[in-house]
Structure 1
Amino acid sequence: MQEALSELKREFSRSSEKSPMAKTSDTETKEGEKAEESEKPPQAQSRSRIVLNRVNSAGEREDVEYDKKPTKQSSSAQVKGYEFTLRKFIEEDPRQNHSEIEIESPPLRNFMKELLISCPYHTFRGSPQTLYSPYEAIVLNWDQLAKAAEDRKFSPWPVDRKDWFLRCWAYDWDGSQFQRLPLKLRFARFEESKPINSLPFYPLECHEDSDTLRRKLIERGKKYRRFCTASLGSQMFSYDGQAVLVKRGLSSMRDFMKRDTDTHDDSSIFSYSTSTSSTSAGFAFLKDRVMVDFKSYFEKSRCDALIGDITPEGRYGECQCPTCQTNQELMALYRTRFDRANIDGRDWDAEQYLLCPPRVFGYVLREKQWAQLHAHGKKSTAKTVALKAEKPLFAISVADVGTEAKHVESNLRRIFTLATTWQAILLIDEADVFLQSRSLGVTHGGNIERNALVSVLLRVLEYYQGILMLTTNQIAQFDVAVHSRIHVAIKYRELKEDRAMAIFRNFLDPLDRKGKVKDMDKIVQWLQREIRLAGFGGRQIRNVVTSALSLARARGDRQLSRDHLSDVVDNVHEFKLEFIRQYENYKTQQQGLS
């Protein structure tokens, strides 16, 4: 048996050296055959059959042996007296060249079956056995095979111009359970050899400090498990670190609803759909409150279970035949037991923690973004926000809900469901379109669409058990039915001077610490005089500061000064006075018409 494997090794290495990588003419082939004849060992001493397979002038594939005339391709099983056949396929495009080995000897076949029983795809169960380049079964198990072959140094890799891919698993959470997530890792081809730890992916034991890295990965996996299994009402975290922003707001949900509102099966979400590309994703540093929620991420963002920029391969099928399912070595190799792991708090194997991804999925509350959130790193921290003190604020706008009545009801129901799942306070900002009196629509031309929006909100509200806040500046136009459903009404009065000053300082102090404000004390003194007259609200104060910064940049000034703020405040104040004057004129005109 040692001799057979040694012969396999020698022929494997020799064929790689002689493999032609370009199309040759008939004359060149004949000359090459003559040149090689003298180098060949006597036929009686050879246990291998080496052939080149190419398309001839008649368009048929044929085998070309080094010492024989071309013949039509036939099964190597019909060829007697050989341990194996190495066939090199020569294609028109040299980059597509590949090879295969057919093991014909029953003793050699049985020997490899005994050693390589855990190899998938029934590789060592047929007759003859056929291996295909790049010969993973041989390469990955070479240490075992080397015990039965002579101990000599050689490279088992074939000449191959294509990239190489490795199939592997992460141990991921799908919103309801942990299960293996198939991935395909790509290795760009390279010439000659390079250190294994210079590859984009390599075995843990090849890391220069594998023990330390192993401990860190296990701790990261434990943290990942805690985030994924956080109970309802405990899914809000403060986040400070790098994130991959995937989808903006709830627009993807609205687009999906427009395609098919009634026939969608939500269960398909958990197949890690690869139909939606994530080209809109981008890296950003966030400091915000987030909701970690895998299930809602898959349902609402319609995105893949990406790990960084690696896209899952999808649910490729594992053989379900009785032979494979009862093959304990194969099941152990595939880690099928991981899919049956409980989430009841019992500890896992170390390997399960090692395979957990470095990210969780969730929703960034202030930015209204679905995102990948890193679960590790020096700059990335996540601490549970105590829900005794506050609930998450889930803010949306009319743009997130839509204004077409046929879609609004379905969208509202899904948004209300999300708010209930997160136990959040739901805020619909500038909700005038849902609150206006339906009688106004009839009086002014019968705006049926607007009346329908109010009716939709009232209908959905009947079944909502959470807290809903609506903001509006048009309380005089409230529909009577909406008014009757309001439990608490809060009027926002003009800011007092101390509150207005505090808001100004919230915007100006960070700029001052960065050296971007000139004479901060003078600005504060000036603001204390001006605030009393201006009557600004919080949003107006923000606009004043941002506009003043823009003005400073436009003038080429490196620091924000009182003059910049004064120019903007004067402009806003003049506009406010003009607006009040024209509004009073409008009311007078309306009274005259009545």
Structure 2
Amino acid sequence: MSMRRTDRVSKGSRSLSQPHPPRSSSIFDPDQTMMDISEVIFSNDSRDVQYAPAGSICEILNLYQTNPGRNGIGSWTREHTTGIWGQAKVPESGQYALLVRNIKCSNEHREFEIDSIVVQSDHIKSFLARVMDGYPGITMSRKRVQFSKPFEPFVHRWEMLSEARDNESNAQAKAHVDLLYGVLAAELSDVITNKQNLVLAGVITFDMLWTIFEPGQIALSTVDNCNRAFRLEKGWSGSGFEIDTVYIDYNGHGFGYRKHSLSIPTFEDTKPIMSLPVIPFVFHNDKDTLRKSLTLRGKLWYQHKGHHHKHYEGLALTSYGDQEIRYKINSRVIIDTEAYLEFHSDESPISLEAISDSPADKDFLIATPILRGYSLKDRKWLEFFIDGVTDIVWNSRPFKSLILPGGEAKDLKDLVLAFASSQSKNSDISDNLLKGRGRNVIVLLHGPPGVGKTLTAECVAEVMQVPLYVQNAGALGTTAASIEKSLSVVLRIVPKWGAVLLLGEADIFTQEHNPSDPKERELYHAFLPLLEYFEGVLFLASNRVEVIGPTLESRIDVAIHYPRLDSESRRHIWTRLLGKSDRKAFSEGEIFNLGDCDLNGREIRDVLNTARVLARYRDTKLSYKHVLTALQLSTRPVSRMIIES
């Protein structure tokens, strides 16, 4: 049907009389916007006019913008002359399928250009309800539906609109749809053709970016070297092309949508779509494979709600002020978003728009790959990527080779494990053993540094297959208030995770304090809740024990004293830390000589690490010479006889 712009009304209606002056009150259509205010009834004799049903006349009524009135609001008139007093009446204008609003054009070749289109035809609204299904912000159930320039929804769904028009079987509906199509084709022809040509070549210009980013669709980007999918909310030109998106996140209590901003910097000429920092998913070269992998990753991420003890290797993130700090870690971790947000002071609460139903595949596609928790070795609250998370491979062998002091090492190991295993949640021994006292087992480990105190706690946790949470007493604070605050965290999260707690530098318990010193007494009593209320296995490690106070003595279940390492113990440590593969490169005599070096276990480990770095740099296997070089560079004095050997 040819497009016809008309100013007539339906048959039987009288011609418009000269308008009356505006009255003090007017009748407004509740569905109108502010720009519709002038399309009101200014004549009280409209009851004499018979109008066709709303939107039923298959024609277009053109309206033209007038100059703003005293209130600063412009109006729309049927006349071309700007500023004329001749507003269109709502009952009259409401008859037409479409209202096309025109404004003065800055182009010298055209007097007017289209500003907006108002859809009033039920046929067109029903048609667009199908074409625009799922497009954010469009509701076709309203009496009058307005689309404004540059008509993004029609540009984004032009192919769907054209196909649906061709397939429209109802003749009357087709006639109404053709009206809209004719207006849009004339208005958008250059934009549509330009977009199609660019997309066909796989490129885009900056000023045409808005044509390929459809709201509600999926956008792809790389964030922290990780492929991410987001749902596009809107795109707009700012300092670059700014894109508002959402993704699925977890705040420790529930799942929901979280806002995220992306940006494409300005560029000249054309740019390949696949090289953009943000790519519409539909234009990706391998979107099917990518959709599958991102959805599977989202499902795996979803399984880590709550708290989990895992191994992690890879990039980890934290923040300090406005700065993002990155770590490369290889550690056992606790994944626990709730604890992370509660105890990581630099992180603000996560605001989410809740999901009404359980997450579906479309939600897993845009799920964040980030998990939040605590690195046990690094003792930091961090963000982890799901791709670096693996199950823990437990190893009980270190406990079997652990050197404990005294001739009854096996009995001592069995006793430590017996107490530790009694803390199992399903153990009947626990209730009987701990009846009438705090639900904890306290093991005191005391002796000089580097003799195996920390290793003992590590081995027990490994055999029990639970996390080991290490905390130095000195790091808990220097005032009673700071200690109490720090301990409140420990007393909450360690039992929650079922972890073994190792409190290092616990001299506050093991050395005699001065009861007449109010500050020392205050600090001592600040630590007492740890003994009273902690639930689980607690290792207290101290470098010296002079006098054990009665408060601690009555609560200790096992006390192990570690003497300084002798030569035989050091040879055992060298052999164990070398491992089977590296041990083959060392003779018995070389191991014997190394045992004579007066080093503790921690120092032996550090020397070996230095020697391995040197061997890797020289691209050779670890050897005795590398160890001797590392010994010479160490801060501890080493026998010249050993070096010259």
Matched, 1:403 2:403: no
- The code of the aligned residue for 1:155 comes to V
2:592 to 499, 523, 528: 528
Deviation track 1:323-365 (CA, whole Å, cap 9, x = no partner) reads xxxxxxxxxxxxx7x4332xxxxxx643233233223222111
**Residue 437 of structure 1 contacts residue 480 of structure 1 at CA under 8 Å; is this kept in 2?**
no
- In 2, Cα distance between equivalents of 1:563 and 1:385: 34
**Residue 61 of structure 2 contacts residue 100 of structure 2 at CA under 8 Å; is this kept in 1?**
yes
| C-alpha spacing 1:171/1:104, structure 2 compared with 1 (3 Å) | closer
| C-alpha spacing 1:374/1:117, structure 2 compared with 1 (3 Å) | closer
- In 2, Cα distance between equivalents of 1:428 and 1:76: 82
1:474 — aligned with what?
A: 544
Matched, 1:339 2:356: yes
Matched, 1:486 2:549: no
1:565 — aligned with what?
A: 631
1:465 — aligned with what?
A: 535
2:363 — aligned with what?
A: 352
1:279 to 310, 316, 323: 323
Deviation track 1:162-212 (CA, whole Å, cap 9, x = no partner) reads 233444433333223333333333333445554443333434443323332
| C-alpha spacing 1:416/1:117, structure 2 compared with 1 (3 Å) | same
- In 2, Cα distance between equivalents of 1:77 and 1:382: 70
Secondary structure of the residue aligned to 1:227 is coil
Matched, 1:243 2:311: no
| C-alpha spacing 1:427/1:569, structure 2 compared with 1 (3 Å) | same
- In 2, Cα distance between equivalents of 1:538 and 1:153: 78
- The code of the aligned residue for 1:418 comes to I
- In 1, Cα distance between equivalents of 2:237 and 2:146: 21
Pairing 1:408-423 to 2, within 5 Å after superposition:
408-423=483-498
1:425 — aligned with what?
A: 500
Superposition RMSD on alpha carbons, in Å? 5.1
As a proportion of its length, which structure holds more helix? 1
Secondary structure of the residue aligned to 2:304 is helix
| C-alpha spacing 1:246/1:568, structure 2 compared with 1 (3 Å) | closer
- The code of the aligned residue for 1:219 comes to L
- In 2, Cα distance between equivalents of 1:298 and 1:89: 55
| C-alpha spacing 1:506/1:197, structure 2 compared with 1 (3 Å) | farther
Matched, 1:291 2:313: no
- In 2, Cα distance between equivalents of 1:246 and 1:340: 31
The Cα of 1:385 is off from its aligned counterpart by 4.8
**Residue 494 of structure 1 contacts residue 535 of structure 1 at CA under 8 Å; is this kept in 2?**
no
Matched, 1:103 2:175: no
The Cα of 1:430 is off from its aligned counterpart by 0.9
**Residue 423 of structure 1 contacts residue 466 of structure 1 at CA under 8 Å; is this kept in 2?**
yes
| C-alpha spacing 1:192/1:510, structure 2 compared with 1 (3 Å) | farther
- The code of the aligned residue for 2:631 comes to L
- The code of the aligned residue for 1:289 comes to R
Secondary structure of the residue aligned to 1:281 is strand
Secondary structure of the residue aligned to 2:341 is helix
Percent identity over the alignment? 22
Secondary structure of the residue aligned to 1:394 is strand
- In 1, Cα distance between equivalents of 2:479 and 2:499: 26
2:303 — aligned with what?
A: 226
| C-alpha spacing 1:128/1:455, structure 2 compared with 1 (3 Å) | same
1:393 — aligned with what?
A: 468
2:258 — aligned with what?
A: 181
**Residue 318 of structure 2 contacts residue 383 of structure 2 at CA under 8 Å; is this kept in 1?**
yes
Deviation track 1:55-96 (CA, whole Å, cap 9, x = no partner) reads xxxxx9999xxx999979xx9999989933466999xxxxxx
**Residue 365 of structure 1 contacts residue 393 of structure 1 at CA under 8 Å; is this kept in 2?**
yes
- In 1, Cα distance between equivalents of 2:60 and 2:128: 23
Deviation track 1:136-179 (CA, whole Å, cap 9, x = no partner) reads 54444434444342568532657975233444433333223333
Pairing 1:547-558 to 2, within 5 Å after superposition:
none
Pairing 1:190-339 to 2, within 5 Å after superposition:
190-191=267-268, 193-228=270-305, 235-240=308-313, 242-246=314-318, 279-282=323-326, 284-302=327-345, 314-315=351-352, 338-339=355-356
**Residue 249 of structure 2 contacts residue 352 of structure 2 at CA under 8 Å; is this kept in 1?**
no
Secondary structure of the residue aligned to 2:372 is strand
TM-score (norm 2): 0.54
- The code of the aligned residue for 2:117 comes to I
The Cα of 1:125 is off from its aligned counterpart by 7.3
| C-alpha spacing 1:315/1:70, structure 2 compared with 1 (3 Å) | farther
Deviation track 1:84-121 (CA, whole Å, cap 9, x = no partner) reads 3466999xxxxxxxx99443463499578745475555
- In 2, Cα distance between equivalents of 1:502 and 1:86: 91
**Residue 608 of structure 2 contacts residue 627 of structure 2 at CA under 8 Å; is this kept in 1?**
no
1:383 to 391, 394, 400: 391
Secondary structure of the residue aligned to 1:212 is helix
Bigger radius of gyration, 1 or 2? 2
| C-alpha spacing 1:212/1:104, structure 2 compared with 1 (3 Å) | closer
**Residue 187 of structure 1 contacts residue 200 of structure 1 at CA under 8 Å; is this kept in 2?**
yes
**Residue 76 of structure 1 contacts residue 85 of structure 1 at CA under 8 Å; is this kept in 2?**
no
Deviation track 1:299-341 (CA, whole Å, cap 9, x = no partner) reads 11245599xxxxx8x447xxxxxxxxxxxxxxxxxxx7x4332
- The code of the aligned residue for 2:331 comes to D
Secondary structure of the residue aligned to 1:183 is strand
Q: Where do 5+ consecutive residues of structure 1 fail to align?
A: 6-44, 55-59, 91-98, 248-275, 307-311, 317-335, 342-347, 514-518, 553-557, 575-594
Secondary structure of the residue aligned to 1:471 is strand
Higher relative contact order (CA 8 A, sep 6+): 1
**Residue 118 of structure 2 contacts residue 147 of structure 2 at CA under 8 Å; is this kept in 1?**
no
The size of the alignment, in residue pairs, is: 435
| C-alpha spacing 1:441/1:205, structure 2 compared with 1 (3 Å) | same
The Cα of 1:403 is off from its aligned counterpart by 1.6
- The code of the aligned residue for 2:391 comes to K
As a proportion of its length, which structure holds more strand? 2
| C-alpha spacing 1:71/1:483, structure 2 compared with 1 (3 Å) | farther
2:190 to 138, 154, 163: 154
**Residue 168 of structure 1 contacts residue 185 of structure 1 at CA under 8 Å; is this kept in 2?**
yes
Secondary structure of the residue aligned to 2:484 is helix
- In 2, Cα distance between equivalents of 1:281 and 1:126: 50
2:10 — aligned with what?
A: none
- The code of the aligned residue for 2:380 comes to Q
